[in-house]
Amino acid sequence: MVNLTIDGKKIKARPGQTVLQAARDNGIHIPAVCACDALEPYGSCRVCVVEITNGSATTLETSCTYPVAEGLQVATFSDEVVKARRLVLELLLARCPNVSEVRTLAAQYGVDAPPEHLTVENEYCILCGLCVRACTEVVQANAISFAGSGKDKKVTSPFGLEAENCIGCGSCAFVCPTGIIKVRTVDRATENMPAGEVVIGPERIIDNWNRNLKLQQCKQSGTPIAPEFMLQRFQATMPLSPQFFDIAPSYREYPEVDESLCVGCGACLDECPVGAIRLKVTEDGEVRSNIMTTHCCGCRTCTIYCVRSAIKVPETV
């Protein structure tokens, strides 16, 4: 463990953690907009700046990118930190004066309006990069990116045209702190052709990336599952069971744990591709595997790796 001090409080952090992660683990609040545990640190918004004393040097650093080290002294609310955050929030408020996330955070530091010397814009993207990083690092679709520089910098699809690599997962909208990325579903999409109106069916639409994706419908209920393009991509890269691609989650048959056979070895937990298995302690004090159907994708990988054949699908029970 690494020993450091944050706001006079001595804490222990895991090697490899950032100052922001260590602070959060110990209940110390540091504001941050562009930080996400699922993504690599980026440090674009600079709202999480803190004062760090390392040896004889004291500097202002972004806590989301600064790694913990033995003996660090961290101040999260010194005069210099507050001054730096106010400056950042003034700039953000000038760019995005109507974004509630920015207005709320700025108000906490006494910034109600941008200074008169700043030109006020009406943007809704704060250029935090969360959407781009999620698409690249997690989804690995590389469908969107930054374009331009300076005041003309923006997040966009290639050449502003349809993002052909977008699988319609909606991760970009999920991580967006301002809500400017909109994902909507149309139950009955149509297209006007010379021969007349053609019914396409249910579609997922992401206007930001000029993307319209036809939705796969459940073979049992007829309800939309996910974009066909996304399921085709998964089918080509993931060894999932057929029901993942054809059946809506509420109609799938999920594996079940026979607790009389399970010994709680954790082999299934280690091999689950979506982290849907946890160990639990029974009323008798014994450790057993527990499958969370809210997370399970129905791939049945756990049935392969269970050394006791304790995990089975309902039809084989």
* Mean pLDDT, rounded, of the chain: 92
Look at residue 130 and tell me whether its pLDDT is greater than 60: yes
Separation of alpha carbons 140 and 259, rounded Å: 37
Domain span(s) for CATH 3.30.70.20 in the chain: 253-316
At 211-257, the pLDDT tens digits run 999 999 999 999 999 999 999 998 888 777 788 888 988 888 889 99
What integer pLDDT is reported at residue 316 of this predicted model? 42
- Architecture of domain 253-316 in this structure: 2-Layer Sandwich (3.30)
CATH number 3.10.20.740 is the correct assignment for the domain at 1-122: yes
List pLDDT tens digits, range 26-61.
Answer: 999 999 999 998 899 999 999 999 999 998 899 999
Residue extent(s) of CATH 3.10.20.740 domains in the chain: 1-122
* Per-residue model confidence as pLDDT tens digits over 76-97: 999 999 999 999 999 999 999 9
Cβ–Cβ < 8 Å for 13, 5: no
Alpha carbon distance 48, 110 (integer Å): 17
pLDDT of residue 239: 74
Helices within 109-183 (DSSP H only): 130-133, 171-175
Q: How confident is the model at residue 151 (pLDDT cuts 50, 70, 90)?
A: confident
CATH architecture of 130-227: 2-Layer Sandwich (3.30)
